[in-house]
């Protein structure tokens, strides 16, 4: 990532919780200068205070016209947070937001319709550099703006571009909330192992290793997920017996996940109103 412009003009990070910290750590590792970074966070972590000791500006003023302002506060804190940075609207500062459920229209109301705004939806595996983030911009966003946002967000994983904001609720329901579904799968798989007679600790060890290992295989393998499933399923075997339950059209995974993802997407739509 070319950080020359950001190191020259500065970057403001509003909110430095788990997601903000993961991104900031990635940027610093790729060459962002602490002296070119301003962070606003009412409850800074010890790690952030340590970075501030090396030149980052923490809760003390801001540059006049930073290259990027990245908003990483929780949606319920948005009303109090946005006025602190409203003055950056209308210029050539790029506003990037990773807050869930807050629409571009909300930011345009705060910053002005002429402000370049990119809305992004990352997910929690960003904390280990394995996230995936979807981005979309408002009407005045340029290709260069999207390139800059993608370069910043790629510090914590993959980045995809959407056709428009209308796809954001579905993205939130699949990848934004999706890690929780996987964690619950681990819980449920471990509980099922216990029900078959395994000690709780062993069942959880097996479930965690199985899900994380299968995920890594899906990440590395050239085959599709469907083919990987077929590869491990012998006709008439134990896996086939389990899949006959999991793939049952009305009560199995497909129907259950359709309902779950729809519920999450519907909730995202209601939060955005």
Whole-angstrom distance, CA of residue 92 vs CA of residue 14: 18
Return the SS3 of 158.
strand
Residue 86 DSSP one-character state: G
Vertex 162 angle, CA 132 and 165, to 5°: 110
Looking at the DSSP bridge assignments, the partners of residue 68 are 11, 94
The domain ranges of the chain are 4-167, 178-271
Buried b (16+ CB within 10 A) or exposed e, 1-34: eebeebbebbbbbbbbeebbbbbbbbbbeeebbe
Q: What is the pLDDT along the chain (273 residues), one digit of tens a residue?
A: 668 899 999 999 999 998 899 899 989 988 999 999 999 998 999 999 999 999 999 999 899 899 999 999 987 788 888 888 989 999 899 999 998 878 999 999 999 989 999 999 999 999 888 999 999 999 999 999 999 999 999 988 999 999 999 999 999 999 999 999 999 999 999 999 999 999 999 999 999 999 999 999 999 999 999 999 999 999 999 999 999 999 999 999 999 999 999 999 999 888 777
Give the domain 178-271 fold: ProC C-terminal domain-like fold (1.10.3730)
Helix then strand then coil, in percent of the chain rounded to 5, is 55, 15, 30
Which residues are part of a known binding site? Answer: 14-19, 59, 72-75
Contacts of 216 (CB under 8 A, 6+ apart): none
Looking at the DSSP bridge assignments, the partners of residue 97 are 71, 119
Identify the CATH number of the domain defined by range 4-167: 3.40.50.720
Q: Check if the beta carbon of residue 92 is closer than 8 Å to that of residue 145.
A: no
Whole-angstrom distance, CA of residue 111 vs CA of residue 97: 13
Return the SS3 of 77.
helix
Q: Check if the beta carbon of residue 95 is closer than 8 Å to that of residue 117.
A: yes
Which residues are part of a known binding site for NADPH? Answer: 59
Label residue 40 exposed, middle or buried (CB < 10 Å: 0-12, 13-18, 19+).
buried
**pTM of full prediction above 0.75:** yes
């Amino acid at each position: 990532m070319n950080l020359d412009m950001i190191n020259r003009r500065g970057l403001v990070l509003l909110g430095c919780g788990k997601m903000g910290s993961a991104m900031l750590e990635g940027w610093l590792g790729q060459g962002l200068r602490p002296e070119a970074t301003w962070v606003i966070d009412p409850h800074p972590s010890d790690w952030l205070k340590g970075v501030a000791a090396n030149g980052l500006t923490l809760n003390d003023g801001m540059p006049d016209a930073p290259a990027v302002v990245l908003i990483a506060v929780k949606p319920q804190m948005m009303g109090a947070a946005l006025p602190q940075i409203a003055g950056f609207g209308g210029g050539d500062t790029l506003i990037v937001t990773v807050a869930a459920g807050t629409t571009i229209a909300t930011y345009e109301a705060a910053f002005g319709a002429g402000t370049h705004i990119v809305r992004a939806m990352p997910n929690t595996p960003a904390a280990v550099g394995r996230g995936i983030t979807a981005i979309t911009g408002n009407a005045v966003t340029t290709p260069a703006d999207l390139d800059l946002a993608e370069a910043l967000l790629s510090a914590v994983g993959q980045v995809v571009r959407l056709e428009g904001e209308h796809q954001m609720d579905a993205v939130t329901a699949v990848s934004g909330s999706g890690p929780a579904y996987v964690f619950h799968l681990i819980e449920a798989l471990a509980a099922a192992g216990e029900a078959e007679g395994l000690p709780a600790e062993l069942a959880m060890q097996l479930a965690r290793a199985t899900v994380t290992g299968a995920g890594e295989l899906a990440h590395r393998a050239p085959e599709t997920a469907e083919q990987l499933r077929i590869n491990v399923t012998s006709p008439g075997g134990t896996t086939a017996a389990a899949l006959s339950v999991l793939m049952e059209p009305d009560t199995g995974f497909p129907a259950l996940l359709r309902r779950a993802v729809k519920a999450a997407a519907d909730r995202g739509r209601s939060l955005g109103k």
